[in-house]
């Protein structure tokens, strides 16, 4: 896999380069500013871009704004955001087109190497990978403002794991449920959120969006 990294912390950037290289990937560019990220993606057309939220010169939201520009220019661009903080509005924006191929990890998760590599593979394949803490904060916000009357407690658990990007088998293992039970919960969730079958969208991502924006 060909990857571009945009991260201003030298040690973290070099650590990601080493880890990704050692696991068979190719880092085609590693930059430390948003402008350099845009140029690198235009030049290399990577399979995945790993982007810090806050980059020079302002260290506010330059990185994630650049990532959103990349998605706007190419909806198929695969973006994995890494951050020390949960930027709730931007996290929701990443999911907004419902196409998948996006992820948002807190930097603590990057040091959990298996979780990080799993997120890299999942996002590059067109799935989603949302940090559990990001999902928790988004769901807490939704709960506070909108309530959870439509879903049962177990369905909310399943939807939370769907939001993280887990597959059905991974949800089974996490909740210690049979596959048929998980499939039933997901069917109920999609029905309650009025998401009929469609070939042109990722229903799981749409389910998460519908829930957060209900």
Contact between 23 and 16 (Cβ < 8 Å): no
The predicted structure's pLDDT at residue 147: 42
Q: What is the DSSP letter of 75?
A: T
Domain boundary pick from 72, 107, 130 = 130
11 and 109, same domain (yes or no): yes
Q: What are the residue ranges in the chain where pLDDT is below 50?
A: 144-147, 199-201
Do 111 and 163 have their domain in common? no
**Any idea what the CATH number is for the domain that residue 185 is in?**
1.10.10.10
pLDDT at 139: 65
Question: Omega of the bond prior to 57 within 30 degrees of 0, cis?
Answer: yes
147: left (phi over 0), alpha (psi -120 to 50) or beta: left
pTM of the predicted structure, to 2 decimals: 0.73
What local confidence, expressed as pLDDT, does residue 214 receive? 54
| Neighbour count for residue 69 (Cβ, 10 Å) | 15
| Statement to judge: residues 115 and 153 lie in one domain | no
- Which residue range is the domain that position 18 belongs to? 2-130
């Amino acid at each position: 896999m060909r990857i571009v990294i945009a991260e201003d912390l030298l040690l973290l950037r070099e650590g990601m380069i080493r880890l990704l290289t050692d696991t068979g990937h190719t880092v085609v560019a590693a930059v430390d500013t948003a402008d350099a990220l845009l140029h690198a993606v235009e030049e290399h057309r990577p399979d995945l871009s790993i982007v810090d939220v806050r980059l020079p010169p302002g260290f506010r939201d330059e990185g994630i704004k650049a990532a959103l520009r990349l998605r706007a220019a190419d909806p198929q661009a695969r973006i994995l955001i890494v951050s020390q903080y949960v930027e709730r509005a931007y996290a929701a924006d990443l999911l907004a087109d419902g196409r998948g191929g996006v992820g948002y990890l807190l930097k603590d998760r990057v040091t959990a190497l298996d979780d990080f590599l799993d997120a890299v593979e999942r996002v590059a394949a067109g799935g989603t990978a949302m940090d559990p803490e990001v999902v928790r904060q988004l769901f807490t916000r939704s709960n506070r403002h909108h309530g959870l009357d439509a879903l049962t407690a177990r369905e909310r658990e399943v939807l939370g794991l769907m939001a993280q990007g887990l597959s059905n088998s991974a949800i089974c293992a996490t909740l210690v449920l049979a596959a048929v039970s998980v499939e039933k919960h997901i069917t109920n969730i999609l029905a309650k959120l009025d998401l009929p079958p469609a070939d042109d969208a990722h229903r799981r991502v749409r389910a998460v969006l519908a829930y957060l924006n209900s």
